[in-house]
Amino acid sequence: MAVAAGQLTAEAPRATTQEIDDRRLGIVGAGKLGTTLARAAVAAGYDVAISGSGPSDDIALTIDVLAPGAHAATTNEVAGHADVIVLAVPTHRFRELQPDLFADKVLIDATNYWPPVDGDDPELADAPEGTSTIVQQHFPSARLVKSLNQLGYHQLEENQLPHGAPNRIAIGAAGDDQLAVRTVMRLLEHLGFDPVDAGPLKNGVALEPDGSPIATTYNAEQLAERIPR
């Protein structure tokens, strides 16, 4: 069951006349997280396009083996393929992407700042309202939602449960655009997790992992308690 996180400030949703097509999903990043997410999304019935860095033949082969049913594409093609895009790259690499690439798209920031991979990055390390606010600044026209960053990649696949199952693992979604957040919550539901509305993007700090090699998981009630009101 989705649980709301208390009173949200009344922010006007981003103006759009377009309905969000959430039968399609784009994924930028074909590493462990991206390929696992692609596989899970294909199994949940999504039309998935995914891009990665490296020779396109290698990416196509990787997708063919690890996420059959998803199609490998360039990042530009992925951005055009769907209204909902997941950023699944090492965090610091968001800076390599054009700021207007995801204009008006729901952009799910699934990344976590992780110094062994990102290196020493003061901007990300110091972000007082969470790393997703930094990502939003880089993509000002995107409708950022921080989500899908809380679990280890293998947990996304192994810990899915059907709707209504007791102690379903909860995943939070934090964003300033109400419609975008609700769209992401539907995706989380389809992937087999209890979605929790975590409020505005700056609440994303509460969703950031503590760095432990084994991700701590929460059910919906427990996660809702961790969100600032």
Partner 1 sequence: MIATLEFGLDTFVPLTVDDAGLPIDGDQVIRNTVEEAVLAEAVGIDSFNIGEHYRPEFMDSAGHVILAAIAGRTDRIRLGTAVTVLSTRDPVRLYTEFATLDAVSKGRAQLIVGRGSAVESFPLFGFDLADYEELYEEKLDLLVRLLREQPVTWSGRFRPPLTNQVVSPPIATGHIPTWVGVGGSPQSVVRAARFGLPLMLAIIGGRPERFAPYVELYKRALEEHGQPKLPVGLHTLGFVAATDEEAVRIQWPYYKEQFERAAEERGWRPPTYEQFLAEVDHGSMYVGSPETVARRIAEVVRTLDLSRFHLHYAIGRIPHEQRMAMIDLFGREVIPRARELLAATPEPDTTLAAGGRS
| Ranges within 201-220 binding partner 1 (CB under 8 A) | 210-214, 216
Does 32 bind partner 1 (CB under 8 A)? Our answer is yes
Write down the residue that tokens 């909902």 correspond to.
Answer: 84
Binding piece for partner 1, criterion CB under 8 A, among 13-21, 56-64, 98-106, 179-187: 56-64
Binding piece for partner 1, criterion CB under 8 A, among 127-135, 150-158, 168-176, 188-196: 150-158
Q: How far is the CB of 35 from partner 1 (least distance, A)?
A: 6
Does 118 bind partner 1 (CB under 8 A)? Our answer is yes
> Which tokens is 193 given?
């997790």
Distance CA 96, CA 105 (A): 18
Residues 6+ apart with CB under 8 A from 96: none
Does 56 bind partner 1 (CB under 8 A)? Our answer is no
Out of 10, 12, 15, 65, the residue judged to bind partner 1 by CB under 8 A: 65
Size of the site for partner 1 (CB under 8 A): 31
Closest by alpha carbon to 174, among 106, 125, 91?
106
Kindly list the distances between the CA atom of residue 153 and the CA atoms of 106, 107, 109, 162, in Å, as whole numbers in the listed order: 21, 19, 14, 19
Distance CA 128, CA 206 (A): 11
* Binding region for partner 1 (CB under 8 A): 30-32, 35, 52-54, 57-58, 61-62, 64-66, 68, 92, 115-120, 154, 157-158, 210-214, 216
